[in-house]
Chain A
Amino acid sequence: MGNVKIGERVQRKEDRRFLTGSGRYVDDLQLARVTYAYFLRSPHAHAKIRKIDTSKAAASVGVVQIFTGKDVAEAKVGGLICGWVVKDKHGNPHKAPAHPAMAADTVRHVGDTVAMVIAATADQARDAAEKIEVDYEVLPAQINLAGALDPKAPQVHADAPGNLCYDWELGDKAAVDAAFAKAAHVTKLDLVNNRLVPNAMEPRAAAAEYDRGTGNYTLYTTSQNPHVARLVLSAFVLGIPEHKLRVIAPDVGGGFGSKIFIYPEETMLTWAAGKIGRSIKWTAERSESFMTDAHGRDHVTHAELALDAKGKILAFKVDTIANLGAYLSTFATAVPTYLYATLLAGQYTTPVIYCNVRAAFTHTTPVDAYRGAGRPEATYVVESIVSKAAREMKIDSAELRRRNYIAKDAFPYQTPVALTYDSGNYAPILDQAMKLADYAGIDARKAAAKAKGKLRGIGVCSYIEACGIAPSAVVGSLGAGVGLWESAQLKFNPTGNLQILTGSHSHGQGHETTFAQIVSDKLGIPLDQIEVVHGDTDKVPFGMGTYGSRSLPVGGSAIMKAADKIIAKGKKVAAHLMEAAEADIVFENGTFKVTGTDKAVPLGQAVFAAYVPHNYPADLEPGMDENAFYDPSNFTYPSGTQICEVEVDPDTGVVDIVNFVAVDDFGNIVNPMVVEGQVHGGIVQGVGQALLENAAYDEKTGQLISGSYMDYTMPRADDVPSFKLGYEVTPCPHNPLGVKGCGEAGAIAAPAAVMNAVRDALAAVGAQDRIEMPATPQRVWAAINAH
């Protein structure tokens, strides 16, 4: 593979190994003298552990050791932490109840970890776990979000009275109330944002090693951010010094947020490897993934939108209760606050907004970031209520949006909910989407559908997201416990090939290709001379990982900065070699030239001279190896419009997506092929939320009813159509690549696009306000037939 440019559809470097079965995922690792762990989990949503008898299990074949929550407590292993402090309305920090890696006296959700069995084989560990006798005193549990904040509800934590984690607000309530008083029209809406299970196809897995000789630990784990995992495990949980713990996230089979967090299992494995002095491996069964991977969404919201007679939005108020589950996952507190309420302006000039969020504990699996994290929830509220207002005011829903878009010359644009949008141009996106969707022809298609007894509907969703997470000082002032910069190292070898070390982590996004692509373009080096290294804390200087569509805008920018340093140093070397002034050197297509002459030194020659500095500037360090850290100055603001068209069969309630269009502004595009793939995947996760997926609990027992692929409706190939995509490009003005990020857009916009289409179809029979996600055939049929 030769030189490639930014913007080309470069085929992925990583594909060959994945296509030949040569990927190396955590469960594929073969470690010497390895043992296997099995975690015994609580079958109850809420119970006291009276006694655990492990004697029979300990005598079971192959068992090496059994640990319970008591052992962990006695060893003073720290609890798992939540890394973002949200201050409530009154300035008090959120309630932060203890989250032990294994429950010692109380279990708080089905699947809570109770004991860890280590044995010679995975089957032996599981067999032994079945022999552990736990005496539970079952307690009443609060499963549903509705009612969780009721003072009489069963309490999840004694130190979070009323199950309230925080009562938080954003915006100017008085100004909003005043604007509502003057409104010509007020639209009101109640919405449920259904709980989802992320379901990366690779289940979580970990393997831990302890080296007695050096006292060093190595943890292989399915992580989106191995350095963050190391930092948290070192500084807060296990107390192993950071330099004695190596965390490796090799090939990881999808994450979607669920592999950001630090979980009990890898914590216990690392700790126990030190205790028993042997390697330990654990891979989740899918049913464990359902029970214990942090879930997503789960909001109940009431919203009101005030408009003038022409459909101009005057004010917006939103009241949300968010479910956090039984314990605070690593970034749980930030998701329904700073990643949610700050997006409620959408693409509109809404002058005043007020949002109140109360976050509740329940006896369910912890909830945290899932693809989009807060932004899909915000978009669903904004875009559902805008479409409802349009219907009520008899204004075309695309037209109502257009009347309220922030104008293209209004950027940078300060919203009333803290963010400053850097760039955008929303109207041409809508135009393009309407054209691709043949929006003008919908009436004819509705009539044709009606003639065959079907209901057609079209739904528009114009989304905004804040990506490229995030300026460290900003998030620090909002309570984040970390900086959110990214690091990069460009390490040339004397023979001229190059390693890019990045703190971002690829678990499907294709960084090994796109990061190499930007460097190939910038430095003029063939793609096959570049290797991207990621996912190993002993190799990569540091990293904050991959989430929030940050890899390219933040991680890619760090790479560009490091490349600039390479060029700057190379210029000095080249100037010396060509006996020219440094100021006269230009770098083009991989070659240093003296302006106005035909003298030239290829980058490779400068690199060689830097490692074999026989003829070299006296005051210059040898070597061609540059580090850079990049801290963004703002978020990036991808935007776009999706239009979905559905046909509903009123006899069966089946919703068929007949057309789906997405037009996005991701700023500059590095690899269109990869971007398209991200959009497709995101859309299908959003379609899944709208039509298929629901983490349903039995409200009495707290059992996850949809706890396997038999019951949890994952989108399959025949549930979805092929998609029509389009782009508008307004480059991001504040990062060197002009990129905005594309990983989450599909999932952010699709639920509202699909549901607006379903509601539009159901409006023909007056059922538009009777449907919640997921709009399953049963629910659609019931909505149509409710009287």
Chain B
Amino acid sequence: MTMSVAMTVNGKAVSGNVEARTLLVQFLREHLGMTGTHVGCDTSQCGACVVHVDGVSVKACTMLAVQAEGSKVTTIEGLAASPEKLHPMQEAFRENHGLQCGFCTPGMVMSAIDLVKRHNYAVTEEIVRHGLEGNLCRCTGYHNIVKSILAGAQAMKAAGV
């Protein structure tokens, strides 16, 4: 049995027919073909799937597509103003080598932005390390991710985003 669902993704109205069990991440990846949001686990722990739903970070593998009915969803694809003009947090990851294979990266960036906003830009290494408990990275050893987020927080503040 399928159900219809409609939401706004990265500022565009989208809709589709999904099974009740379809996860938000499946809706994004399989129905909308937006494959920037990744799936790295089946127990809601890796954070590769983090998106923003109505402004807060959500693991898109723990939410049903139909639960996002009417919501405003932002994914990694929706962050940069243009391919040349990255979001300050994306730019900070690039400048600080905060990514290697790139698989955890979309979730890391989405979590980082939410983390920085929740702390009103006032993040420390300790806050960042604790705040990343829900995001796994196997490549970077986190050193440069932490560095990226600290730099990204400053850049976000300066840019007023």
Binding site for B on A (CB under 8 A): 11-12, 14-25, 27-28, 30, 123, 199-203, 251-254, 256, 283, 285-287, 507-510, 673-674, 676-677, 679-685, 708-710, 714-718, 720, 722-723, 746
Contacts and interface: CB of A to CB of B under 8 A. Distances in A.
Given A509-B100, A510-B100, A201 B48 contact: yes
A708 B42 contact: yes
Given A19-B90, A202-B101, A717 B37 contact: no
Interface of B: 19, 21, 29, 33-43, 45-46, 48, 75-77, 79-80, 83, 86, 90, 93-95, 97, 99-106, 109, 125, 128-130, 132-133, 135-147
Contact of B109 (A19, A680, A715, A720): A19
Contact of A710 (B45, B80, B142): B45
Given A19-B90, A254-B103, 15 more contacts: A12-B97, A15-B94, A17-B102, A22-B36, A201-B104, A253-B38, A510-B100, A676-B144, A680-B141, A680-B144, A681-B141, A708-B41, A710-B45, A720-B141, A720-B143
Contacts of B35: 21, 24-25, 27-28
Contact of A251 (B95, B102, B147): B102
Contacts of A251: 101-102
Counting from the closest, the 4 A-B pairs by CB-CB distance are A21-B36, A18-B102, A253-B103, A508-B101
B110 to A, nearest CB: 10
B139 A254 contact: yes
B61 to A, nearest CB: 10
A16 B45 contact: no
Given A681-B100, A709-B41, A716-B133, A20 B138 contact: no
Contacts of A677: 97, 100, 139-141, 144
A716 B75 CA distance: 23
B105 A18 contact: yes
B139 A508 contact: yes
Chain B interface helix/strand/loop/mixed: loop
Nearest to B19: A123
A710 B86 contact: no
A409 B141 CA distance: 35
A710 B75 CA distance: 26
Contacts of A19: 76, 80, 86, 90, 93-94, 99, 102, 105, 109
Contacts of B37: 21
A676 B135 CA distance: 21
A717 B38 contact: no
B26 to A, nearest CB: 9
A427 to B, nearest CB: 27
Nearest to B140: A681
A681 B36 contact: no
B76 A20 contact: yes
B74 to A, nearest CB: 11
B146 to A, nearest CB: 7
A202 B146 contact: no
Contacts of B101: 18, 200-202, 251-254, 507-508
A252 B138 CA distance: 13
A252 B103 CA distance: 8
30 contacts: A19-B76, A19-B90, A19-B102, A20-B36, A21-B35, A21-B75, A24-B35, A30-B33, A123-B19, A201-B38, A201-B46, A201-B103, A201-B104, A203-B39, A254-B103, A286-B42, A286-B46, A508-B139, A509-B100, A677-B97, A677-B141, A680-B140, A684-B142, A709-B41, A714-B136, A714-B138, A716-B136, A717-B133, A718-B133, A746-B141
- In this complex, the member of B94, B125, B141 whose beta carbon has the largest number of chain A beta carbons within 10 angstroms is B141
